[in-house]
Amino acid sequence: MDKRRLEGFLYGFLMLLTAVVFFLLGAKYAFLFGTLPEQETSFVLIPGNDSVEQTPSQNSIDLNTATVEELMRVPGIGQTFAERIVAYREEIGRFTSLEQLLEVEGIGKTRYAEWSVYFTVK
């Protein structure tokens, strides 16, 4: 292969590689940040079930009996937030209203709005 053909081949290969990288980055961006319009739906987590289903709120997790593992099944709640919720519950004795989640460190109005649909206080 002569030098000119090799340079042309390498140039074409680099252009193709660049296109693939930009495509993958775009796909990752779309996956992470979403490109579809938001739809308002209410999801409720059924204790003992690892999947999230669209069900009536009667199957919500009771904040006064939930374990760290049950809390972690709610989308967006990791171990740190689950432990904070349980620790706060132990500190105050029991939750008397869902709004008390706002008193847990790091839970603001946005997280409360997202997570409160999964919980109940009995």
- Identify whether the C-beta of residue 79 lies closer than 8 Å to the C-beta of residue 72: yes
Q: What per-residue confidence (pLDDT) applies to 6?
A: 84
Q: Which tens digits make up the pLDDT trace of 1-22?
A: 688 888 888 888 888 888 777 7
Q: Which fold has domain 44-120?
A: DNA polymerase; domain 1 (1.10.150)
Backbone angles phi, psi at 9, to 5 degrees: -65, -45
Q: What per-residue confidence (pLDDT) applies to 58?
A: 52
Q: How far apart are CA 110 and CA 36, in angstroms?
A: 20
The encoded tokens of residue 64 equal 């006064």
Domain boundaries, the chain: 1-36, 44-120
Instruction: Look up the pTM and report it.
Output: 0.54
Coil, strand or helix at 40: coil
